[in-house]
A and B are shown apart, each in its own frame.
Chain A
Amino acid sequence: MSGRRPSLLVIDDEPGMLALIERFARQSGFDVVVHTSGSTAISQLASHTADVALVDLRMPEIGGLDVLRGIKEAQPDCQVILMTAHASVDSAIEAVKLGALDYLSKPIDLNRLRELLTGVREKSARRAALLAAENETAHRMELCGLIGRSAIMQDLFDLVERIAPHARTALVTGETGSGKEGIAHAIHHLGPRRQRRFLTINCSAVVDTLFESELFGHVRGAFTGATENKPGLFEAADGGTLFMDEVGELPLPAQAKLLRVLEVGEVQRVGSLQSKKVDVRVVAATNRDLQAEVVAGRFRSDLYYRLNLVELRIPPLRERPGDIPYLTAAFLREFAAKFRKPIDGVTPGVERILMTGEWLGNVRELRNVLERACMLSEGRVLNERDLQAAMPGPSRLSRRVPDSTAGNPQMPPKSSTLADDLGAVERQHLERVLAEADGNKSAAADRLGVSRRTFYRRLEKHNLLKARRTSQDRTGAEPARSWHAPISAADS
């Protein structure tokens, strides 16, 4: 419950009445602002929020009903009670129609007024409590800048919070762009090492022969070019956290050395016989299936089991579409500020496109698309045109294709024969041309440079004569659909 007193606005051209109500309302726990003129009151509504207003119906300059309209326009949540010394059924009905809470005749029944004010005060307290609860929820939705309202992300945040103070090693798995480094940062910041260094190495970006030197350092003369002693990342990160991204790319010899560091907490610089104690928390991340890598002999099983003592799996964005509006809102805030633009929302069409996108590049892709869209946008609200212009390629988000063909929506499944492949590609092409011609077969045949008869034969071969209507419906009915491949080879 908030400590704020509810606020009452009283508007009456009779100062005696204002003084009476002010005194009564203060006793009932309200902050009171009084005005003898409706126009002054309305002009000050922008700077003063009121929970309830008590307005005289009959005033010389501007009538109570107009004041009621003005208040409802400026502050729709403000409750308005009208009062009059000259009650009439017509004005009472009009007031209620315009959204007045009640209509009191003078002399005012103070008990009735007290009841009304108590009702408003309770409602305002409930709203404040609700708002506080929402803020609390919003706070829980975020973990070190990561946003996840979905149950699946909440579970992940819980796990991160629980393991962060204790785990010596952790393995973060997830598709590209899903936020593995963010989780690694969260583990670091929520743990006892938050004051110490957080270093990152991207294992896919290091030349095989330099891995050991990068990780463990070298002494002068250890190899050609080693002109002086150099500490490795483990020594540099001593006491802190080392984030090893794409750990699946680590060559086998370096894996053996890494395992030793993790098990005994000692590093040996390349070319040195001396061991040095290090205390480093290792958070490894991969978008590969490490278990499969182990089976294939490309990743040491002992290292795998050492790393995955704690495994944190980040779900891909498509498994948590409910988070997309929250992520979108956060990114819009960020980029609106960055580009100094007044963008504060998206059109329903944009929201639908974002919600139904495949997002193979996950949160990073969503973020990049919104960054470009914000850069291009010129309005307050991001529209479909801004979004389309920000999409890389004609329908980047449309890759709703099975995994076997992931990465290229035009390619049929790998296991099919050449004849199957060509047939599928042909069918796909026919579908597309037919859709582009709005189902007009003559136009589609012209576009393909074949006779109408040939075109029909082809359609028949692929069972597209019957399917035509469905295909037309799919491509024509809903604009958002155009973001999905209308019919992929695998559908046939």
Chain B
Amino acid sequence: MTAPVDFEHAIKNHLAIIVGYADLLLDECGADDQRRPDILEMRKAANAALALVDTWVGSAR
């Protein structure tokens, strides 16, 4: 019972760190910084993974 909750917690934490750093980098680089689209891609993927976790946890309950 607790194993999926622990897993959900752990994976979401890791994904939150990725999103967090992406946000920090976006804050720090200017609007016309060439790396901006790449960072946005990383952030988008991490957010998509988070949504997947939520869907998976929802269906598992």
- B-binding residues in A (CB < 8 A): 14, 16-17, 20-21, 23-24, 58, 85-86, 106-108, 110
Set of chain A residues within 8 Å of B14, measured between Cβ atoms: 14, 16
Chief secondary structure at chain B's binding surface: helix
In contact, B17 and A20 (Cβ under 8 angstroms): yes
In contact, A108 and B20 (Cβ under 8 angstroms): yes
In contact, B24 and A20 (Cβ under 8 angstroms): yes
Q: Provide the bound-state CA to CA distance between A24 and B23, in Å.
A: 10
Q: Provide the bound-state CA to CA distance between A367 and B48, in Å.
A: 74
- B14-40: which have CB < 8 Å to A? 14-17, 19-21, 23-24, 27
10 further contact pairs, Cβ within 8 A, besides A24-B20, A107-B50, A108-B20 = A14-B17, A20-B24, A23-B24, A106-B16, A107-B15, A107-B16, A107-B19, A107-B23, A108-B16, A110-B23
Q: Provide the bound-state CA to CA distance between A328 and B14, in Å.
A: 58
Cβ-defined partner of B24 (8 Å) among A14, A17, A110: A110
In contact, A86 and B9 (Cβ under 8 angstroms): yes
In contact, B24 and A16 (Cβ under 8 angstroms): no
Q: How large, as a class, is the contact surface on chain B?
A: 10 to 19
Set of chain A residues within 8 Å of B19, measured between Cβ atoms: 107
Task: Write 19 A-B pairs (CB below 8 A) sorted by A numbering.
Answer: A14-B13, A14-B14, A16-B14, A16-B17, A17-B13, A17-B20, A20-B17, A21-B20, A85-B8, A85-B9, A85-B12, A85-B13, A86-B5, A106-B12, A107-B16, A107-B20, A107-B46, A108-B16, A110-B24
Taking CB as reference atom, which chain A residue is nearest B53? A85
Taking CB as reference atom, which chain A residue is nearest B57? A86
- Given A20-B24, A23-B24, A86 and B17 contact (CB-CB distance below 8 Å): no
Q: Provide the bound-state CA to CA distance between A86 and B11, in Å.
A: 11
Set of chain B residues within 8 Å of A85, measured between Cβ atoms: 8-9, 12-13, 16
Taking CB as reference atom, which chain B residue is nearest A58? B9
Taking CB as reference atom, which chain A residue is nearest B50? A107
Q: Provide the bound-state CA to CA distance between A150 and B32, in Å.
A: 64
Q: Provide the bound-state CA to CA distance between A85 and B49, in Å.
A: 14
